[in-house]
Amino acid sequence: MARKQSTISEYDRLYSQEGSFNETWDGKISTVYKIPKYLNIFFDEFKNYKGLTFLELGAGNGEITELILRKKPKFVKRYIATELSSVGVRKMREKGIEAYKMDVNKLKFKSNSFDVVCCFNVMHHVDNPAKMAQEMMRVARKRIFLIEANGMCILRKLIEKTERNKKANEHSYFPWEYKSFFYSGKTTPAEFKISPFLYVFPLTPPLLIKTAIAMSETLEKIPLMRWQASGVHISVRK
């Protein structure tokens, strides 16, 4: 409990700062490349749908949420966000986002409340990822979408051992572990897909960003290298 409160306090501190949280945490590479990459995958996933209701878990200060809503996609009918940090919830509401303070492992929504439940880099921060997965399964009617950290990436695992990342309670998982989280309850997916992507890492020097992006786009296409990518995209269909 003390560790959880310490983690929340750390995020309260980060979200209270001015400017981009993601850029503060990951450097310029985050806003230039990583987040646009997340959004491309997200929009491609739902581009053929219309009028869906979305629940985003652990939305932080709403930086990614705001970028999604700003585009006014036809596939979004209603978009709600949750966050455990009170500061994060306040920041989202200031941006006009419908946001609620909530634990991802104890969602205060009825079963099958949303067409889609999604999150961006949240599961590898929680103490009970299987419980989170089952809550996502319970609340989602149709689809679940996650961007997550890849536990197979050696460099990613080393970064998690730094004091900064320990404070954020980071712990990435292997692909089969992520899958097991969604198959651990009474309701299991009709389909589970996971694919690796992203070969850039935090605090890339600005002068090397273009080179880092070019290398990332190339390495993602090499079969023997793919699973050393730092991220994974998870798509679940009920």
Average pLDDT over the chain reads: 94
The pLDDT of residue 1 is: 59
CB-based contacts of 43, cutoff 8 Å, min separation 6: 71, 73
- Of the pLDDT bands very low, low, confident and very high (cuts 50, 70, 90), residue 7 is confident
Q: 76 φ, ψ to 5°?
A: -105, 120
Q: Tell me what the mean pLDDT of segment 199-218 comes to.
A: 94
Looking at residue 121, its pLDDT comes to 97
The full DSSP string for 9-29 is: HHHHHHHTSSS-HHHHHH-HH
Judge residue 226's burial from the number of C-beta atoms within 10 Å of its C-beta, 0-12 exposed, 13-18 middle, 19 or more buried.
middle
pLDDT in tens, 169-185: 899 999 999 999 999 99
Looking at domain 2-237, which CATH architecture does it have? 3-Layer(aba) Sandwich (3.40)
Task: Give Cα 4 distance to the centre of its chain.
Answer: 19
- Pair of tokens at residue 163: 């004091």
pLDDT category of residue 114 using cuts at 50, 70 and 90:
very high
User: Is the per-residue pLDDT at 2 higher than 60?
Assistant: no
